[in-house]
């Protein structure tokens, strides 16, 4: 007789959520994991954790361990410790402003210099242009700008997202999961 269980696969993926202060990292995770949104801002201190279990397909179960890293940690000395053994990253900015986008490259450099896949390649990273429910800053009105940015800076792709209005949250996570699955 056939043993179906032997065909099923389970994974545990450590995923980093990084980007500058108040770009919506905690809100993204809260929406994705708990289906909630809070307009009140409370800065993350250090790092928070969340677990999301995804039945990717009938035979693939994925546990995502989401590391919600405080924006202020870019200026700290702990990111190397936080990044250890991560296999994917979401790098967030606020698409309604220009400022947090300038930090995206710095976060990506910090990431790539401190963690790689076991084979030495960069870990897959998706660019998250959050708060798309608000009017976009003019820099981001032409989508080819972010396409080119991703191409030139080693991102596997990007989405306009809204944690507030639940736009492209699942899509962003699925893109990252599929890229990670392609590397393990
Ligand atoms: P740090 O923990 O300080 O690094 O910030 P963070 O990136 O975790 O940001 P957080 O999720 O706390 O959100 C910051 C503020 O932006 C809060 O007031 C949120 O309610 C708001 N916010 C987050 N996502 C969205 C969104 O998609 N749309 C709008 N309009 N506001 C958002
Ligand atoms: Mg936070």
Asked if 111 and 37 count as a contact pair (C-beta separation under 8 A), the reply is no
Angle ∠(88,159,76) on CA atoms, nearest 5? 50
Cα(39) to centroid(ligand 1), Å? 7
Say if ligand 1 is within 6 A of residue 41 CB: yes
Instruction: Encode pLDDT of 18-35 as tens digits.
Output: 999 999 999 999 999 999
Say if ligand 1 is within 6 A of residue 124 CB: no
pLDDT at 106: 97
pLDDT at 7: 83
**In which band, very low, low, confident or very high, does the pLDDT at 3 lie, cut at 50, 70 and 90?**
low
- Indicate the average pLDDT of the chain: 95
Angle ∠(27,28,32) on CA atoms, nearest 5? 115
Cα(130) to centroid(ligand 2), Å? 13
Instruction: Encode pLDDT of 83-123 as tens digits.
Output: 999 999 999 999 999 999 999 999 999 999 999 999 999 99
The token duo for 2 is 């056939």
H or E element in which residue 168 lies: none
pLDDT at 1: 44
The token duo for 37 is 């949104």
Q: How far apart, in whole angstroms, are the C-alpha atoms of residue 26 and residue 13?
A: 18
Which has the closest alpha carbon to 176: 16, 1, 55? 16
The ipTM is 0.99
Say if ligand 1 is within 6 A of residue 160 CB: no
**In which band, very low, low, confident or very high, does the pLDDT at 158 lie, cut at 50, 70 and 90?**
very high
- Where do runs of H (alpha helix) occur along 51-162? 79-83, 99-102, 104-114, 143-153
Say if ligand 1 is within 6 A of residue 48 CB: no
Asked if 78 and 26 count as a contact pair (C-beta separation under 8 A), the reply is no
Number of C-alpha atoms within 13 angstroms, CB side, residue 62?
19
For the whole prediction, is pTM greater than 0.80?
yes
**In which band, very low, low, confident or very high, does the pLDDT at 4 lie, cut at 50, 70 and 90?**
low
Asked if 35 and 55 count as a contact pair (C-beta separation under 8 A), the reply is no
């Amino acid at each position: 007789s056939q043993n179906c269980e032997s065909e099923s696969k389970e994974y545990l993926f450590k995923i980093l959520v990084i980007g500058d202060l108040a770009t919506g990292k905690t809100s993204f995770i809260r929406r994705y994991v708990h289906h909630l949104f809070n307009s009140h801002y409370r800065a993350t201190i250090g790092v928070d954790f969340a677990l999301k279990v995804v039945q990717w397909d009938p035979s693939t179960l994925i546990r995502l361990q989401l590391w919600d890293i405080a924006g202020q940690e870019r200026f700290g000395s702990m990111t190397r410790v936080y990044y250890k053994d991560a296999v994917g990253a979401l790098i967030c900015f606020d698409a309604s402003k220009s400022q947090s986008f300038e930090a995206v490259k710095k976060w990506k450099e910090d990431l790539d210099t401190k963690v790689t896949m076991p084979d030495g390649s960069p870990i897959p990273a998706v660019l998250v242009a959050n708060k798309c429910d608000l009017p976009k800053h003019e820099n981001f009105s032409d989508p080819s700008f972010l396409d080119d940015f991703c191409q030139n800076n080693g991102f596997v792709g990007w989405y306009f997202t809204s944690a507030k209005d639940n736009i492209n949250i699942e899509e962003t996570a699925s893109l990252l999961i599929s890229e990670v699955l392609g590397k393990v």
